[in-house]
């Protein structure tokens, strides 16, 4: 084999090893990060909500003595948790929800590719009964909308009749892959009221594009914000 060919083989091997190492780093311990990145260039913002602003007050690269940041964003930015207080008068604030709601087994359901709403009929196409926590992967993920700054009004949502089935089944947690579980422009927030009225927190803005359906171990920790209705969270899953 010529030296030039050996060099090419060496470069290819190095690239393969580097790529494998990078992948291993993102899935260390088998955990998969399903948190949407908070980046003003990519994060979608619900109309009327506060924009995401990430600023540097000082930066070492710009002559500062330290790198010091300032963040300004709405409570419903990126992957976040809605607490009952969001739509239920007298409902629990985020810090009052027991943490065990956010940790344990979760079932990720891959909805029909053309489903624009998760109705009771759509829900019953899938094996959901008996699951304590349910996350919905929809066309929102297939379209990569959680990393598209354009707000898509036609996102797939959870319809009230499906929400009622979930509430009646006493699930502990419900999640979806866009920044709202409610139909955009709905005259009343029925889905939120049904779920939150049964003290079922809602996880919105999940990044599920590369996650297969099935049962996973969930570890999700919202910010410990006291006395408010929502906050961003970090969410990880591991195949069971």
Q: What are 46-59's pLDDT values in tens digits?
A: 999 999 999 999 99
Averaged pLDDT, 65-90: 98
Q: Residues of 57-69 as b/e, b for ≥16 C-beta within 10 angstroms?
A: eeeeeeeeeeeee
Q: Does position 117 have pLDDT exceeding 80, yes or no?
A: yes
CATH no. for 75-239: 3.50.30.50
Is pLDDT of 119 > 60? yes
How far, in Å, CA of 121 to CA of 238, rounded?
29
| Average pLDDT of the chain to the nearest whole number | 91
Catalytic residue chosen out of the listed positions 80, 86, 126, 192: 86
Instruction: Name 134's bridge partners.
Output: 107, 174
pLDDT at 23 exceeding the cut of 50: no
Which residues fall within 8 angstroms of residue 126, CB to CB, at 6 or more apart? 109, 110, 111
Distance, in Å, from the CA atom of 222 to the CA atom of 230, rounded to the nearest integer, reads 8
The predicted structure's pLDDT at residue 136: 98
How does residue 24 score in pLDDT terms, banded at 50, 70 and 90?
A: very low
Compute φ and ψ for 219, nearest 5 degrees.
Answer: -135, 110
What pTM does this model have?
Answer: 0.88
3-state secondary structure of 47: coil
Percent of the chain predicted with pLDDT > 70 = 88
Question: Which pLDDT does position 191 carry in this prediction?
Answer: 98
Binning pLDDT at 50, 70 and 90, where does residue 6 land? very low
Q: Compute the average pLDDT of residues 194-199.
A: 98
User: What's residue 29's pLDDT?
Assistant: 87
Pairing of strands 103-110, 133-137: parallel
Give the pLDDT band of residue 73 (cuts 50, 70, 90). Answer: very high
Q: Above 70 in pLDDT, residue 1?
A: no
When pLDDT is averaged across residues 84-88 and rounded to a whole number, the result is 98
28 — pLDDT class (breaks 50, 70, 90) = low
Question: Is 86 among the residues known to form the active site?
Answer: yes
């Amino acid at each position: 084999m010529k030296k030039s060919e050996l060099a090419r083989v060496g470069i290819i091997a190095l690239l393969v090893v580097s790529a494998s190492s990078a992948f291993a780093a993102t899935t260390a311990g088998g955990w998969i990060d399903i948190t949407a990145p908070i980046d003003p260039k990519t994060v979608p913002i619900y109309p009327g909500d506060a924009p995401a602003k990430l600023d540097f007050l000082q930066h070492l690269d710009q002559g500062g003595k330290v790198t010091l940041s300032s963040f300004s964003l709405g409570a419903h930015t990126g992957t976040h948790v809605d607490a009952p207080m969001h739509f239920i008068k007298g409902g629990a604030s985020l810090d009052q929800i027991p943490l065990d709601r956010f940790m344990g087994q979760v079932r990720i359901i891959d909805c029909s590719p053309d489903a624009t709403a998760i109705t009771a009929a759509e829900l019953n196409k899938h094996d959901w009964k008996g699951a304590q926590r349910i996350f919905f992967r929809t066309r929102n993920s297939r379209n990569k909308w959680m990393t598209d700054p354009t707000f898509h009004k036609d996102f797939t949502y959870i319809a009230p009749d499906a929400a009622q089935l979930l509430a009646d089944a006493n699930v502990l947690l419900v999640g979806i892959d866009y920044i709202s579980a409610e139909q955009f422009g709905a005259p009343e927030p029925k889905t939120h009221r049904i779920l939150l009225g049964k003290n079922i927190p809602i996880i919105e803005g999940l990044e599920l594009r590369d996650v297969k359906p099935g049962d996973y171990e969930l570890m999700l920790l919202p910010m410990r914000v006291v006395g408010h209705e929502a906050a961003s969270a970090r969410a990880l899953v591991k195949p069971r």
